[in-house]
Structure 1
């Protein structure tokens, strides 16, 4: 189990983030300057409103401390490759989706460690594990920011090679994601069973709220319908693999997969059930 957590989990996330980077171009980052307003609305929804909604959900459902922290860790994670795919399926603004995912994934190296340290201290109190913000930032750089940067560089300097490996990497990333979710659930099975009803209800409620919050903010900001669909999806779909990895980085590996990883693991399953009906509705409009 230690080998899976120490080596397999970070390596899997790095491959997933490399897959994200391979699908990006330098133009995806430049687009932030040319389309600053819709990007800003999406960023506000994802970076600010998302954690606020998670905090409210945790309080509303009176979740146990470790589960509450897991909810907050999930809310700090950016969207992943999945949000880009779902934006395409919804006939949304895929370019905006890719730009939001790319930039916020890179920014997570700075935002996530600080927010994670705060949430652990707030919810766990004296039982909180010691969190090194600098150490967490370095780890996130190595397993998220660096692989994305490498992927973008490969796309820029070896486009043909990137095109050839893109589909394979995407499939590998999907397989790794499924294995990580299964391992996290298996490692905390009794805690998962004991808290499934309240945790599942909380996650579904949060997911629905986030999709609607993103859509509502975008419409209130007079974004186009395609842009609004994308902001909704980017707000409601998080990189649950990163949430599981964060939990492992924070608590160590002595006792297997951390209970803090459970919300991200369960969310990795429930997000599809919640999001797909909305995606189908988006496609028809």
Structure 2
């Protein structure tokens, strides 16, 4: 078990590197991951079930203890990223399938890895977890609604089909994970140390399947999509941080909100794109999965250094 824990820790620590390696292999040898393509929905369900296993019903109390902070995060989550996605798709005149893919990334809830990055950034982890829970719970309504509103410019969007898909691949696995944790308690907690390995493996396979299935398309439009994805992600960090500052939040809360807004559940975007639109629409989500883990690590490190400086300054002033 200790060996698995160490391996799991390494997988979580080097998730960005692993995701990038898988993407490169899939790009150079597309057939290496094509077997995983039919299982994308199942793989995301595994990730969401793992998220549910780490939660307790008591975790939801935090939402009611600090409603103003959580509401602010929810507001930024479902305004900043969708609007920026729409603006970028228009600005760069993306083809319909890629535009929809970018918008899907923007309308999805916060990503689970944001909680880890917030911890590394010395941010408010409890706020980050609360924001992830609330945005994920609201996703069956908000994601289809915003996608219908924004992506409807390019393609026809079925609200109810997307609603049911999100309930099936996000809410149901999380609720099952919560129930299993509730029923088996400490027996489940003992396996939490290896959950990062399971989640990282599932996400890596999703990335490999999408990149491998769209290798030719990525080779022709990859640079443009990468630029849009990077701008989208960086705008999320920046505008999330600015919004939190305008709401009068302290440094730890600002870090949590910025990371939560900038890091999306791109695995869900990939799953929805593949199920309801076209394989090419899944490309932005796959690239976002690779990029936001890489950028998140850098941003978290910069934020942590800033927090250390603030702490040192406060200590020197107290002396």
Same fold (TM over 0.5): yes
Per the alignment, residue 220 of structure 1 pairs with 246
Match of 2:311? Answer: none
8 A contact 1:24–1:102 mirrored in 2: no
Q: Are the aligned partners of 1:210 and 1:236 in contact in 2 as well (CA < 8 Å)?
A: yes
Offset from partner CA, 1:105-144 (integer Å, 9 cap, x none): 11111122222333443123xxx4xx43223212211111
Q: Which residue of 2 aligns with 1:110?
A: 141
- Counterpart in the other structure of 1:201: 227
Residue 247, structure 1, aligned to residue 273, structure 2:
yes
Q: Does 1:233 align with 2:233?
A: no
What's 1:121 paired with? 152
How many residue pairs get matched? 274
> Which secondary structure does the structure 1 equivalent of 2:191 belong to?
helix
**Can you list the C-alpha shifts for 1:128-180, whole angstroms capped at 9, x where unaligned?**
4xx43223212211111011111122223322122122222321111110111
Q: Does 2:291 match 1:260?
A: no
Which ranges of structure 2 fall in alignment gaps of 5 or more residues? 1-32, 308-319
- The residue that corresponds to 2:169 in the other structure is 143
For residue 273 of structure 1, the aligned residue among 287, 294, 313 is 294
Q: Which residue of 1 aligns with 2:80?
A: 49
User: Where does 1:150-229 land on structure 2 (aligned, <5 Å)?
Assistant: 150-229=176-255
- Tell me how far 1:258 sits from its aligned partner: 0.8
Question: Deviations 1:5-61 (Å, cap 9, x if unpaired)?
Answer: 44x111111110011111112222221111011111111110112101111111222
Q: Secondary structure of 2:79's match?
A: helix
Give the distance between the partners of 1:195 and 1:91, measured in 2 at CA. 37
What residue number does 1:58 align with?
89
- What residue is the counterpart of 1:254 in the other structure? none
Q: Is the 8 A contact 1:28 1:102 kept in 2?
A: no
**Are 2:109 and 2:139, in contact at CA under 8 Å, matched by a contact in 1?**
yes
- Whether the 8 Å contact between 1:17 and 1:148 is mirrored in structure 2 is yes
Shift of 1:267: 0.9
Name which of structure 1's ranges 24-33 and 205-214 shifts more when overlaid on structure 2. 24-33
CA displacement 1:228-267 (0-9 Å, x = unmatched)? 100000000011111110012203xxxxx71000000011
Q: Deviation of residue 2 (structure 1)?
A: 8.9
Give the structure-1-normalised TM-score: 0.91
Q: TM-score, normalised by structure 2?
A: 0.81
Unaligned runs of at least 5 residues, structure 1: 252-256
In the alignment, the residues of structure 2 paired with residue 200 and residue 104 of structure 1 have an alpha-carbon distance, to the nearest angstrom, of 25
Asked if the contact 2:111–2:264 (Cα under 8 Å) also holds between the matched residues in 1, the reply is yes
Any conservation in 2 of the 1:21–1:151 contact (CA below 8 Å)? Answer: yes
User: Does the C-alpha gap of structure 1 residues 271 and 164 become closer, same or farther in structure 2, counting only changes over 3 Å?
Assistant: same
Of 274-283 and 89-98, the range deviating more from structure 2: 274-283
Alpha-carbon separation, structure 1, partners of 2:238 and 2:210: 29
1:84 — aligned with what? 115
